[in-house]
Structure 1
Amino acid sequence: MLVFRPSRLADLPAIEKIAAKSPVGVTSLPDNRERLYAKIEASVKSMEAEVNGNGEESYFFVLEDTCTGELVGTSGIVASAGYQEPFYNYRNETLIHASRELGVHSKIHVLSLCHDLTGNTLLTSFYIDEPYQYTEWSDLLSRARLLMIAAHPQRFGDAVVSEMVGLSDDHGNSPFWDGVGRLFFDIDYAQAELYCGIKGRSFIAELLPQHPIYVPLLPESAQEAIGQVHPTAMLPFEILINEGFETERYVDIFDGGCVVQARTANIRTIAEHRRYKTEIGLVAEDAPTYLIANRKLADYRATVGAVLVDEPSGKVRLSLALATALNVAEGDPIQICPL
């Protein structure tokens, strides 16, 4: 069984291996021991903190195979993007150029540097080993975060965003970065992403042009990359699109990948999840399968399993093995959502 749980410092060696495998562009999962240690430590402290609003807290989770103890994936939540530094993106906009005398009226696509999304809750750090991709386990790894938000809404914002990794080739070259960012920094895309993962993105954003960038003036390859998603990021992208997230408005400042966004209350998992009391007993093998999570914080657990829902009693029956994995006892509150 695979179980979604908060990371702990003892997970560091396994998380290092995952970070080394993650693709270029996942700056929230840097291949850097010191930064990963700080990321786990911040998550542990956030889980312990008394919180009544979305602030500097961040939550970092792992997907563990309980049979082997192996970690096969990670994902995270930042309670408030840009809490310590502005959360920069490019905003897609249209400027009108018109001349009555010449009879000219044209619409020009521009990118404007902004931090409109500062303060939104941010989904980050998604990675899952290949054998588990496009299965119920990848669904769990992404959506269990949303059940966490549903269980503790006071800790998160009214809107949720996530940056998708944009296009780059097998050598780590990004057409968007080469057409925009590299003109202002004598470093390649992979170096820029590494610096961002270690030092934050403000120092780069502050040196990018503050005036609108006219998209028709960019190289064709850079234009075509705007709003695109790298093949390795299609899985988390599709999960969030199915959750009701939307694209179009914002793109990443490094690779031009799309930024997806949704109002928290409108996200499918949050809107459709249901709360029950735990009942432990026998469950038929052909019983419906759900995403299941407890409603704890530091001891938060989620998994996928077969349960028996009894609406009149307000209870969900779990097998003993499932209840043990979720760290719940008879009568404990629990939440479920359809796959």
Structure 2
Amino acid sequence: MNPHDLLLRPASCADLPALERIAASSVHGIGSLPQDPVKLRRRLEHAEQSFQSEDVASGEESYLFLLEHQGRVIGCSGIAASAGFHERFYSYRNEFMVHASRGLRVTRRMHTLHLCHDLTGSTLLTSFYIEPEFETTVAPELLSRARLLFIRRFADRFAGSRIAAEMPGVSDEHGHSPFWSAVGERFFKMSYPEAERVSEGRSKSLIADLMPRTPVYVGLLPPVAQMSIGQLHPVGELPFQILFREGFETDTYVDVFDAGPTVAAHLDQLQTVRSAQTLTAPALDGRAPLAVHGAASSSASSSSSSSSSLSGAWYLMAAGDRQAFRATLGQLDGEGAGASLGADAMHRLGLAAGDQVDIAPLQLADASQESCHEG
């Protein structure tokens, strides 16, 4: 696959057929796209309005992006500006309680789960999906990380600096979740897939309406439910690894439905954001050098293989206003201060001379480096 053939753009109502196909391909507990054309259209209308709105950001905005390969939609990813805008955003927080008996000279450290809304107001990364044939290419990196450049580029649209993402937990091909069966189903009297349909997504306030306010003692749960806490569904491994390499942290929170890990970080701690630069697109005549408007931090630059030379390195590139936002992968022509943005990247991003473009080094796991080669 040629990385130049990838382009990420905002979704619109015209993309309903592509989104229906994506929703139909997902499994129980994965993503936040319902297999319902009416609800999907509503999601697209909301995203379109979020991209187009010139009003002061309220936190209600929800952005949805589509990734194209040679013009064909192959994946999607999203951002919710403020988790729990209409209601509190619930998670289970991992904690340990110490119980001691002086008489028996026994001390026990007990793992507990506490229902909390610590992440309410955080920016939430959502709806990640990539077609299986592209999972081993560089496409998922662009699909996931371009969202961080969008947040950086339009920081005024996101009130909090904390970013979170819920990862899918353990469930079988029928949508059976051992954690939900041991905890949620006892209070809701409905299956895991049914609960997701009723709530139209995860971590809604209806969870808090029926769930106990007291801690859940993990040691009292069936062993299979205990083992599932914090564990990933196999299809969640790819997006999890991308976010983990970015700097997201785990272990504090798990999802209230299936106990999948919820990762969180502060925006300025993430590799893509720390290493990003804002540049000015040159005139194509003579390939004028790029003007740097925001240098990467020294700590981020030192971790990149491109810190001494821009030549040959691959970059995430993002440009445009919210409605015309575009992101792609590309290389810079030349080296050092003489580096310039080539005509191909400018064309794919819809850039003219003088436009601002954000770039960040594309840092991959060693095993993935081959996937960024052309061909």
Matched, 1:317 2:347: no
Aligned AA for 2:29?
G
Q: Distance in 2 between matches of 1:278 and 1:126?
A: 30
Matched, 1:167 2:170: yes
Q: Is the 1:295–1:335 contact (alpha carbons within 8 Å) kept by the matching residues of 2?
A: no
Q: In the alignment, which residue of structure 1 is the partner of 2:24?
A: 20
1:273 aligned residue (250, 253, 276): 276
> Which stretch of structure 1 is more off in the superposition, 163-172 or 121-130?
163-172
Q: Is the 2:81–2:123 contact (alpha carbons within 8 Å) kept by the matching residues of 1?
A: yes
In the TM superposition, what are the counterparts of 1:68-217 in structure 2 within 5 Å?
A: 69-156=71-158, 157-197=160-200, 201-217=204-220
Q: In the alignment, which residue of structure 2 is the partner of 1:294?
A: 319
Q: In the alignment, which residue of structure 2 is the partner of 1:326?
A: 349
Aligned AA for 1:292?
M
Give the SS at the match of 2:238: helix
Matched, 1:307 2:332: yes
> Which stretch of structure 1 is more off in the superposition, 74-83 or 201-210?
201-210
CA displacement at 1:48 relative to structure 2? 2.0
- Over 3 Å counting, the alpha-carbon distance change for 1:51 and 1:247 in structure 2 is farther
Aligned AA for 2:331?
A
CA displacement at 1:52 relative to structure 2? 5.1
CA displacement at 1:194 relative to structure 2? 2.3
- Over 3 Å counting, the alpha-carbon distance change for 1:14 and 1:258 in structure 2 is same
Give the SS at the match of 1:55: coil
Q: Distance in 2 between matches of 1:119 and 1:51?
A: 19
Q: In the alignment, which residue of structure 2 is the partner of 1:37?
A: 41
Q: Distance in 2 between matches of 1:78 and 1:11?
A: 19
Normalising by structure 2, what TM-score? Answer: 0.84
Q: Distance in 2 between matches of 1:42 and 1:280?
A: 37
CA displacement at 1:126 relative to structure 2? 0.1
Q: Is the 2:27–2:173 contact (alpha carbons within 8 Å) kept by the matching residues of 1?
A: no
CA displacement at 1:27 relative to structure 2? 4.8
CA displacement at 1:26 relative to structure 2? 2.6
Q: Which runs of 5+ in 2 are unaligned?
A: 288-310, 363-375
CA displacement at 1:306 relative to structure 2? 2.2
CA displacement at 1:71 relative to structure 2? 0.9
CA displacement at 1:244 relative to structure 2? 0.2
CA displacement at 1:205 relative to structure 2? 3.2
Normalising by structure 1, what TM-score? Answer: 0.93
Q: Is the 1:27–1:196 contact (alpha carbons within 8 Å) kept by the matching residues of 2?
A: no
Q: Residue deviations 1:23-65, cap 9 Å, x none?
A: 2113511111122111111111111223555611111110123
Q: Distance in 1 between matches of 2:314 and 2:7?
A: 15
2:262 aligned residue (238, 259, 263): 259
Q: Distance in 2 between matches of 1:163 and 1:54?
A: 22
Q: Distance in 2 between matches of 1:57 and 1:331?
A: 29
Q: Distance in 1 between matches of 2:201 and 2:182?
A: 23
> Which stretch of structure 1 is more off in the superposition, 23-32 or 118-127?
23-32
Q: Is the 1:27–1:194 contact (alpha carbons within 8 Å) kept by the matching residues of 2?
A: no
- Over 3 Å counting, the alpha-carbon distance change for 1:93 and 1:20 in structure 2 is same
What value does the CA root-mean-square deviation take over the aligned residues? 2.0
Give the SS at the match of 1:44: helix
Aligned length: 333
Q: Distance in 2 between matches of 1:30 and 1:311?
A: 47
- Over 3 Å counting, the alpha-carbon distance change for 1:212 and 1:199 in structure 2 is closer
Q: Distance in 1 between matches of 2:55 and 2:254?
A: 31
Q: Is the 1:294–1:335 contact (alpha carbons within 8 Å) kept by the matching residues of 2?
A: yes
CA displacement at 1:295 relative to structure 2? 4.4
